Amino acid sequence: MAVRLFSRFARFAIIAAAAASLAGCGVNSIPTAEENAKAKWADVQSDYQRRADLIPNLVATVKGYAKQEQDTLTKVTEARAAATQVKITADDITDPDKMAKFRQAQGNLSQGLGRLLATTEAYPDLKSNQNFLALQSQLEGTENRITVARRDYNEAVREYNVTIRTFPAVIAAKVIYGAKPMVPFAATTPGAESAPTVSFDSAPAPAATKTGN
């Protein structure tokens, strides 16, 4: 009886030791870090989609006051269409080519949006429109959210990439998961991912006064 109990205890001890050994090798830490990075990527996509959803109303509002800016309006609309067509799933964040296409599309939209907002400086009536002011506030908040989401995603990617490359987790990363490094979100060109200026605090230039002859 004692021998049987000892045998059971020994098997339990071996299983526990094996489980502890596997846990120490990253069996748990790798999927945890992976899921965290994927969740942060979902936040990035959600905030970019929020921005895309605001643009049609912005274009329509600007068009009502600045029809002569048709070329700029068209380019923003086209950039938005292109950006929303580039879909990146959580499983794609280890693919550098797909991530580069997403960054490029969003960068092009950021630049186009920045140009559109810059043109509105010439239209004081537009700048005082309540709908435009509301869109301005929402865009400003969304750009801030995008910045934070990208930063949080990059930090999660950094933690994941360090985990799968560091001993002893690197063993599980290669043998069990076949883990690949994730791609951080970086601007494709200098300034491409800077938040467009959406502040319109400057007052319009005063009208010139006529002088007598």
CA proximity to 120, closest of 204, 191, 192, 208: 204
> Is residue 12 one of the residues assigned to a domain?
no
> Is residue 47 one of the residues assigned to a domain?
yes
> Is residue 193 one of the residues assigned to a domain?
no
**Alpha-carbon gap, residue 59 to 71, rounded angstroms:** 12
Amino acid code (one letter) for 144: N
Using the predicted structure, report yes or no on whether residue 135 has a pLDDT greater than 80.
Answer: yes
DSSP E strands: which ranges in the chain? Answer: none
How buried is 133 (Cβ within 10 angstroms: 0-12 exposed, 13-18 middle, 19+ buried)?
Answer: middle
* Model pLDDT for residues 52-102, shown as the tens digit of each residue: 999 999 999 999 999 899 999 999 999 999 999 999 999 999 999 999 999
CATH code for the domain of 163 = 1.20.1440.20
Amino acid code (one letter) for 186: A
User: Could you tell me the residue range of the domain that residue 147 belongs to?
Assistant: 27-177
Number of separate domains in the chain: 1
Predicted confidence band of residue 26 (pLDDT cuts 50, 70, 90): low
| pLDDT at residue number 186 | 86
Q: Kindly report which listed range (131-140, 173-182, 204-213) carries the lowest average pLDDT score.
A: 204-213
* Model pLDDT for residues 201-212, shown as the tens digit of each residue: 333 333 333 334
> Is residue 1 one of the residues assigned to a domain?
no
Q: pTM for the full model?
A: 0.78
DSSP helix, strand, coil percent of the chain (3-state; round to 5): 75, 0, 25
Read off the DSSP letter of residue 194: S
